[in-house]
Amino acid sequence: MSKVAIVGQGYVGLPLARTAINAGLEVVGVDADADIVAGLNNGHSHVDDLSAADLAAMVSNGYRATSDAAELRHAEYVIICVPTPLSEDGDPDLGPLRAAAADVARQLSAGTLVVVESTTYPGTTDEVVRPILEESGLIAGQDFNLAYSPERIDPGNPEFGLQNTPKIVGGHTQACGERAAIFYGKLVQDVVRVRGTREAEMAKLLENTYRHINIALVNDMVRLSRELGLDLWEAIGAAATKPFGYQPFWPGPGVGGHCIPIDPRYLSHEASVRLGHPLRFVELAREVNESMPGYVAERIEERLDADGIPLAGATVLLLGITYKPDIGDSRETPAAPLARILRDGGAIVQYHDPFIGEWELDADQLTSVADLASSVAGADLCVLLQQHRDYDLDDIATRAARVLDTRGVMTGESVERL
């Protein structure tokens, strides 16, 4: 039985571990966070797409988690799935990836396949990870195999999971790519080979940059459409009836999650390093999308002013603070900057989210309102930020005095769409 060591047991590494276990491989999950390791070994899943029952099934089939990097020495396959965040300055932070590569290098054995799945800019695998691994004295492409295969996890998506989403693979050499393709062929239905690691790295950034820019396009049209007195939601729906050459994107209060707000920054940063200037489309999209919480706050104040209610002292109830529907993930959520703006304006900010019971906002710990119905009725204005399936939108529209719907899914006399 082949042993797989997966470094990083978050929303990418843990589902990958389950898939590998189901394929009959021996899997150990390696994570530097001792609390995560203890939770996993005690049957507690911290990832939305895996239930406690899923984790129990994994453990019964041999899965275990550890913080001991020495486990890497005995693995035939080492997959790196650590986060690639931004620094405080907004630049790529490869610290976690460098640390993971250093752990692997200290334990690297000849014949091992090392694959990076963490999203990063083109050239990282070859120029950053490879030199660290080769500090072991082993040479990539000769003594061990090295490849890049970007994660394509979509948390909360019941239709597309790891197995039925094509897996892109690019190797340091053709032989490295071939071995990585054979490995992933055990786990997924389709493997897409590309020439090298840079092409695979670029493919992932293209996917998310494409979404980032098109979301910004419709977000920018929100203001114009309001000035023109037209229903942008209806216009987008009508445009989407064209069977070719168009894909609908919808406005919202901003972008969130680990991918859309962050991944394009990696691409733009690399352009600045290589070309001397950032990618203009990416930077403009970031400017537009990051302005949306401020624009939503303006619309809230305008709606209250129309009824003679000042923002200062008004109760504003935020509905759904996660970055996407039906998951408990609030990373980079646009609800956070919106809440800050409202509080700076003197508003009393409350929130409800069936997936987030406690929300740490700066130095404050907020609690989701216990009684949604009474809180909706008591608020001066409700803001639908995320359309969780648990929400009865018609009931909210009936109970609320005023609603600002940032998702274009509500109707009723009390409702105003973004």
How many Cβ atoms from other residues are within 10 Å of residue 154's Cβ? 18
Tokens representing 236? Answer: 């987008």
Contacts of the segment 366-373: beta carbons below 8 A, 24+ positions apart:
369/317, 373/399
DSSP 319-361: E--SSSTTS---TT-THHHHHHHHHHTT-EEEEE-TT-SEEEE
Q: Can you tell me the distance from the alpha carbon of 316 to that of 300, in angstroms, rounded to the nearest whole number?
A: 9
Structure token pair of residue 305:
């002013």
| DSSP 8-state code for residue 128 | I
Assigned token pair, 85 = 């965040």
Q: How far is CA 188 from CA 133, 191, 414, in A?
A: 27, 7, 48
Closest CA to 79 of 193, 190, 186: 186
The beta strand positions in 281-400, using DSSP E, are: 315-319, 348-352, 358-361, 364-367, 381-384
Q: Is 81 part of the annotated catalytic residue set?
A: no
- 326's tokens: 């039906």
Catalytic residue among 81, 176, 259, 382: 259
Q: Contact, 147 vs 124, CB < 8 A?
A: no
At position 206, the amino acid (one-letter code) is L
Query: Cα separation of 30 and 52, whole Å?
Result: 19
Please give the structure tokens belonging to residue 151.
Answer: 């994660």
- Residues with catalytic roles: 259
